[in-house]
Amino acid sequence: MSGSDRSPLIPVAGLVDLLSAGTPLTLLDARFNLQGPDAHQEYLHAHLPGAVWVDVEQALCGPRGERGRGGRHPLPDSDTAVRVLRACGVRDDRPVVVYDGGSQLGAARVWWLLEDLGHRDVRVLDGGLPAWLAAGLPIMSGETRAEPGDLTGRRGRLPVVDADGVVSALAAGHAVWDVRAADRFRGEYETIDPVAGHIPGASSKPAALVFTAEGTLRNPGELAGLFADVSPGDVLSCGSGLTAMLQLLALRHAGRADGVAVYAGSWSDWISDPSRPVATGPQD
């Protein structure tokens, strides 16, 4: 089964089976805290045995543009992404499992980049570190150093758009799905970006809806119902691109990701140009 045909998720029991069987794989810790404790320090305190830290916040971002152009977490170019992930031990011929602290933001970013580079076997640990701990499985502390990998590839396999692409998608009748919390969409609560509101014409579909109460993703049937109105040509947007990638991960799990693009810079890029319009309140 190819990576595009199967779920991009692996449950804790599935990862335990792979490790128990001695399957060679690269295990990446992609914890990322938009606001809060230093994620690398959290990794050093406790992580899955053999997991290598990957710096989503800095190393896997491109340079920030003038006045915030490109958003808070610009995509890295191919050479940067390959260099960083090789240093983490990623190989072309070896499966990759990536996890984070449960938000799935960092894990989804790494999953998206590896898929975009053409890696054929990358999965996200469903539930992340909390699910591993809930199962009573062992952890370790300190830094794990990887033997450098041989990852190759060029970015460009997944649909991605910029602000002009968002405008074009709306003009063509496609939907732009804003996956931030509904109060941020309406412009009622904004503590991250300097301008509140949303892209005119966008619709709200908060990413929080993809999770169960236990912190795992909902099953494919439930997600397919949630995403019944998402179609090829639509665009996912959030604050800086990471939550949109999480939503795409959930779409892939539901079998409905084909042709759906990510607005890489998302809201933080949109507002970098003061001439772009801003809407507030409920969706049109």
Interval 125-173: pLDDT, tens: 999 999 999 999 999 999 999 999 999 999 999 999 999 999 999 999 9
pLDDT at 37: 83
Q: Where in the chain is CATH 3.40.250.10?
A: 9-134, 160-270
The mean pLDDT value for 198-225 works out to 97
Instruction: Check: CB of residue 205 under 8 Å from CB of residue 178.
Output: yes
Residue 36 has pLDDT above 50, yes or no: yes
Q: What average pLDDT does the chain have? A: 95
Which tens digit of pLDDT belongs to each residue from 69-128?
A: 888 999 999 999 999 999 999 999 999 999 999 999 999 999 999 999 999 999 999 999
Strands 261-263 and 160-161, by their bridges, are parallel
Closest CA to 253 of 133, 124, 144: 124
Q: What interhelical angle do 105-117 and 242-254 show, nearest 10?
A: 70
CATH architecture of the domain with range 9-134: 3-Layer(aba) Sandwich (3.40)
Structure letter (DSSP) for residue 219 = P
Closest Cα to residue 84, out of 155, 33, 160, 10? 155
Which pLDDT score is estimated for 4? 52
* Apex 35 CA angle, 117 and 216, nearest 5: 60
* CA dihedral sign, ordered 132, 96, 207, 251: negative
Classify domain 160-270 at the CATH topology level.
Oxidized Rhodanese; domain 1 (3.40.250)
| Phi–psi pair at 32, nearest 5 degrees | -150, 125
Q: Which helix (H) or strand (E) holds 246?
A: helix 242-254
User: Which residues sit opposite 279 in a β-bridge?
Assistant: 198
Per-residue pLDDT reduced to its tens digit, 227-242: 999 999 999 999 999 9
**Any idea what DSSP says for residue 173?**
T
> Do residues 220 and 254 lie in contact, with contact meaning Cβ atoms separated by under 8 Å?
yes
- What pLDDT, on the 0 to 100 scale, is given for residue 118? 97
- Is residue 1 scored above 60 in pLDDT? no
CA end-to-end span of the chain, whole Å?
42
The span from the CA of 220 to the CA of 232, in Å, is 18
Active site residues: 238
